[in-house]
Amino acid sequence: MTVRIGVIGTGMIGRDHTRRIQQVLSGARVVALSDYDPAAARAVQAGLVPEAQVFERSEDLVASDQVDAVLVCSTGATHEPYVLAAIAAGKPVFCEKPLATTAAGADRIVRAEVDFGKRLVQVGFMRRYDAGYRMLKQVVDTEIGAPLMVHAAHRNQSVPESYATPMAIHDTLIHEIDVLRWLLDDDYVSAQVVFPRRTRHSHAGLADPQLVLLETKKGVRIDVEIFVNCRYGYDIQCQIVGEEGLANLPEPMAITLRKDARLQNALLVDWKERFIDSYDVELADFIAAAARGTAVGPSSWDGYVAAITSDACVEAQESGKIVPISLPKRPALYDQG
Ligand SMILES: NC(=O)c1ccc[n+]([C@@H]2O[C@H](COP(=O)([O-])OP(=O)(O)OC[C@H]3O[C@@H](n4cnc5c(N)ncnc54)[C@H](O)[C@@H]3O)[C@@H](O)[C@H]2O)c1
Ligand SMILES: O[C@H]1[C@H](O)[C@@H](O)[C@H](O)[C@@H](O)[C@H]1O
């Protein structure tokens, strides 16, 4: 079966996922596109998929009987109604992170999916599909004994003026929030955010860098540095310290160059390159499950837990206090991970 996909939101990642489905992956094709700005949808149609239909209203794309499954790639704050509409239509839906910008919104999605009685939602937490993180998980599960501490860093070269202090959590830390609880098989119990000296390369609305301190149920202490104007490149670090050893996330493959009396390894600068393979694998997973009328991988529950945790981190940014995190009981629908 070829899964007929409708893509909502044809900005940077919507375009890239459309390219992926059309040119890299098998088992699906994009048949419909929509965007708040119809010119953006038409540009993707013209450049990548001339045969696709452009819908003025994204709600009509979800309802169309030509569309079997939906990709939600619009701005984060708009995800919730589209995911709810896809669930109501019984269609598998891949939703880019965040699932919703508030825990209340993510909760509504979890409830709708539980009421539907079958998994339909995959959240775009692509790091779980990254070969490096998968190797790290294998080692954490088998080699280093009980994890005790995690030191992580998420550095972007620069961000636009529109990127404000809470986005360090909702837009950036959200990846660590998800991937660390997956790596550790644990949940968070508290969050704190402290602010080091501010870089002169930041702008008025952004405190940069930030240090996020998380504690888990099992007592693991985590520090994550978020530094989004680090200047030198795109750099993702993760070190897990266990009672029998220590494991580091592998660096991206790069040529070691000896030249001009220097030993050099090039660094990436663009986030799109860092996890490029994992985007392919996550969407292949989505397509295979969608062909069976369901969804696998990071779930609405994972999106909900991430939203609860990021709400706590934003509160911690504002209050300067340690903010407790408590989770409701996980519905049985999500017991399979
Ligand atoms: N997984 C990742 O690594 C990753 C990377 C980048 C972006 N993202 C996520 O993907 C989403 C999109 O990010 P982007 O970088 O492509 O942003 P973008 O600004 O390039 O594109 C967003 C598009 O959504 C459209 N849009 C806005 N409101 C809409 C609405 N109500 N209905 C339909 N379309 C609407 C905009 O017109 C725009 O074309 C965000 O949620 C972002 O967090 C994830
Ligand atoms: O939307 C992007 C994307 O999620 C990147 O992976 C992250 O490094 C950036 O900080 C964020 O702004």
> 12 alpha carbon to ligand 1 midpoint, in Å?
7
Return the CATH class of domain 3-127+277-299.
alpha beta
- Band (pLDDT 50/70/90 cuts) for residue 336 is confident
- Band (pLDDT 50/70/90 cuts) for residue 272 is confident
> 143 alpha carbon to ligand 1 midpoint, in Å?
39
Q: What confidence score (pLDDT) does residue 70 get?
A: 98
Q: Which of the listed residues 97, 129, 156 should we mutate to test ligand 2's pocket, taking the one with most ligand atoms within 8 A of CB? A: 156
User: Distance (Å, rounded) from C-alpha 197 to C-alpha 152?
Assistant: 19
Q: Is the CB of 209 under 6 A from ligand 1?
A: no
Asked whether the domain spanning 129-271+308-324 has the same topology as the one spanning 3-127+277-299, the reply is: no
Whole-number average pLDDT of the chain = 97
Closest-approaching ligand to the CA atom of 159: 2
Interface confidence (ipTM) of the complex: 0.97
Domain regions of the chain by residue span: 3-127+277-299, 129-271+308-324
Q: Tell whether the model's pLDDT for residue 21 goes beyond 90.
A: yes
Q: Is the CB of 9 under 6 A from ligand 1?
A: yes
Residue-wise DSSP of 174-194: HHHHHHHHHHHT--EEEEEEE
Tell me, yes or no, if the pTM score tops 0.90.
Answer: yes
User: Which residue's CA is the closest to the ligand 1 atom numbered 5?
Assistant: 13
Q: Which of the listed residues 10, 13, 170 should we mutate to test ligand 1's pocket, taking the one with most ligand atoms within 8 A of CB? A: 13
> 172 alpha carbon to ligand 2 midpoint, in Å?
5
Those residues whose C-beta lies under 8 Å from the C-beta of residue 34, and which sit 6 or more positions away, are 6, 7, 8, 9, 10, 41, 54, 55, 56, 57, 58, 60, 61
User: Distance (Å, rounded) from C-alpha 227 to C-alpha 214?
Assistant: 17
CATH architecture of 129-271+308-324: 2-Layer Sandwich (3.30)
